[in-house]
C-alpha cells in the first residue's frame, strides 16, 4: 500500500509548472451556413436560407504550460472573447389557398361604400432578409489545439426587408349593406392579380446563445488560423412591427394594391388570428478566423 501511495505522489509531483502568461489576440473572421429567421406560420410553410457573417474580434486569454511526467509540454488556455461583426439572415414563407379578410374598407363611393375584402393567396412566396450588427461576449477554453467558446451574442438591427414576386391573389368584396358580392371589377381591385410587393421589416434587438468549437492551426509564433463550427440560437422575440391588415387597399388606386409581410399581418383583423406571432434568430455553419497574437 505504501508503495502505491509513493508512486501516486511521485506522479503528481512530476508535472512541473513551466509558465503562465497573458496573451492579446486580434482576429478577422468569416462564416457561412444556415442563417435564418425562425418562426411558425399559422398556415403555410417557412424555410430557412443561407447566410453568413464577418467581422473582427479580440480575445484576452492566459496560457498555462506544464511538463508532464513523460517530459511532454501540456498547454491550456482560457480567456474572454468579444468583437464586432455583421450577420446576414434569410427566410422564406410559402402560402397556398390561404384566405385573408380586411374589414371595413371604403371604396370612395357616396353610398353603400363600406365593404369587406376577401383575398385568397395561391402560390404566394415571400422572402425576408435581415442584417444585424452582432457583439459577442464569450468565454474561451483551449486544450492544445482544440478550442471551445461559449456565451452570448447581442445583435442590433441594421436593415430588414421583405419581397414577394408574381404572387397570385384573388380579391372579392362583400358589401354588408347590399348583401352583395363583387369579384370581377379589376379597376376596383377585384379579380385575379399577379402581384409584386416589397417593404421594410422592423426588427428588435436580439440576444443569442452562442457556441463555437474547432481546431486552431499555428502558422508561426504570432499567426494562427481557427477552423470551426458555430451555433447561434435566439432567446427573444425580434418581431416588433405592429400588426396590420395583409392587403394595403387605397380606393383611389384600388387596382394597384400592395401587401404587407406575413411577419406582421393579420389574417382577419383580429389579434388572435395572425400569420406569425413571433420570430427569433438562428444560425449554424462553418467559420474561419485569422488571428494575430502578441
The residue ranking higher by pLDDT, 216 or 4, is 216
pLDDT of residue 111: 55
- What does the pLDDT average to over 168-183? 85
Regarding pTM above 0.85, the answer is: no
Give the pLDDT band (50/70/90) at residue 6.
Answer: very low
Strand bridging mode 244-245 / 265-266: parallel
Strand partners, 206: 155
Q: Reply yes or no on whether the pLDDT at 24 is more than 60.
A: yes
User: What is 265-284 written as a DSSP string?
Assistant: EESSS-TT-BS-S-EEEEEE
Give the pLDDT band (50/70/90) at residue 70.
Answer: low
Per mean pLDDT, which range of 128-137, 263-272, 284-293 is the poorest?
A: 263-272
Q: Reply yes or no on whether the pLDDT at 3 is more than 60.
A: no
| Contact status, residue 92 vs residue 105, Cβ threshold 8 Å | no
pLDDT tens digit string along 148-161?
A: 999 999 999 999 99
Q: Reply yes or no on whether the pLDDT at 181 is more than 60.
A: yes
HEC assignment per residue over 193-224: EEEEEEEECCECCEEEEEEEEEEEEECCCCEE
| Contact status, residue 99 vs residue 117, Cβ threshold 8 Å | no
pLDDT of residue 280: 92
Q: Reply yes or no on whether the pLDDT at 212 is more than 80.
A: yes
Domain parsing of the chain, residue ranges: 16-293
Q: Reply yes or no on whether the pLDDT at 117 is more than 50.
A: yes
The residue ranking higher by pLDDT, 258 or 93, is 93
Give the pLDDT band (50/70/90) at residue 163.
Answer: very high
User: What mean pLDDT value characterizes the chain?
Assistant: 83
> Any idea of the CA torsion for 150, 156, 159, 161, to the nearest 10 degrees?
70
pLDDT tens digit string along 254-281?
A: 667 778 888 888 777 665 577 787 899 9
The residue ranking higher by pLDDT, 106 or 118, is 118
Closest CA to 281 of 241, 247, 243, 231: 231
Give the pLDDT band (50/70/90) at residue 12.
Answer: very low
- What does the pLDDT average to over 93-118? 77
Amino acid at each position: 500500500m505504501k508503495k502505491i501511495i509513493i508512486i501516486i505522489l511521485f506522479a503528481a509531483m512530476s508535472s512541473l509548472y513551466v509558465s503562465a502568461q497573458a496573451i492579446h489576440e486580434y482576429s478577422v473572421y468569416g462564416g457561412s451556413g444556415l442563417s435564418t429567421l425562425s418562426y411558425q406560420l399559422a398556415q403555410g410553410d417557412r424555410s430557412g436560407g443561407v447566410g453568413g457573417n464577418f467581422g473582427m474580434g479580440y480575445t484576452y486569454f492566459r496560457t498555462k504550460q506544464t511538463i508532464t511526467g513523460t517530459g511532454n509540454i501540456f498547454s491550456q488556455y482560457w480567456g474572454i472573447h468579444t468583437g464586432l461583426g455583421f450577420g446576414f439572415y434569410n427566410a422564406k414563407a410559402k402560402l397556398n389557398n390561404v384566405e385573408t379578410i380586411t374589414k371595413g374598407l371604403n371604396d370612395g363611393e357616396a353610398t353603400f361604400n363600406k365593404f369587406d375584402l376577401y383575398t385568397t393567396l395561391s402560390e404566394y412566396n415571400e422572402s425576408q432578409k435581415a442584417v444585424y450588427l452582432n457583439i459577442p461576449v464569450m468565454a474561451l477554453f483551449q486544450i492544445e489545439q482544440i478550442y471551445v467558446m461559449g456565451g452570448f451574442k447581442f445583435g442590433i438591427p441594421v436593415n430588414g426587408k421583405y419581397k414577394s414576386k408574381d404572387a397570385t391573389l384573388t380579391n372579392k368584396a362583400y358589401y354588408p349593406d347590399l348583401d352583395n358580392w363583387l369579384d370581377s371589377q379589376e379597376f376596383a381591385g377585384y379579380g385575379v392579380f399577379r402581384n409584386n410587393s416589397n417593404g421594410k421589416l422592423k426588427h428588435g434587438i436580439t440576444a443569442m446563445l452562442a457556441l463555437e468549437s474547432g481546431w486552431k492551426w499555428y502558422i508561426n509564433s504570432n499567426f494562427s488560423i481557427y477552423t470551426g463550427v458555430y451555433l447561434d440560437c435566439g432567446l427573444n422575440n425580434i418581431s416588433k412591427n405592429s400588426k396590420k391588415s395583409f392587403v394595403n387597399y387605397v380606393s383611389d388606386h384600388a387596382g394597384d394594391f400592395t401587401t404587407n409581410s406575413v411577419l406582421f399581418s393579420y389574417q382577419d383583423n383580429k389579434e388572435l388570428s395572425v400569420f406569425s406571432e413571433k420570430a427569433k434568430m438562428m444560425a449554424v455553419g462553418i467559420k474561419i478566423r485569422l488571428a494575430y497574437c502578441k
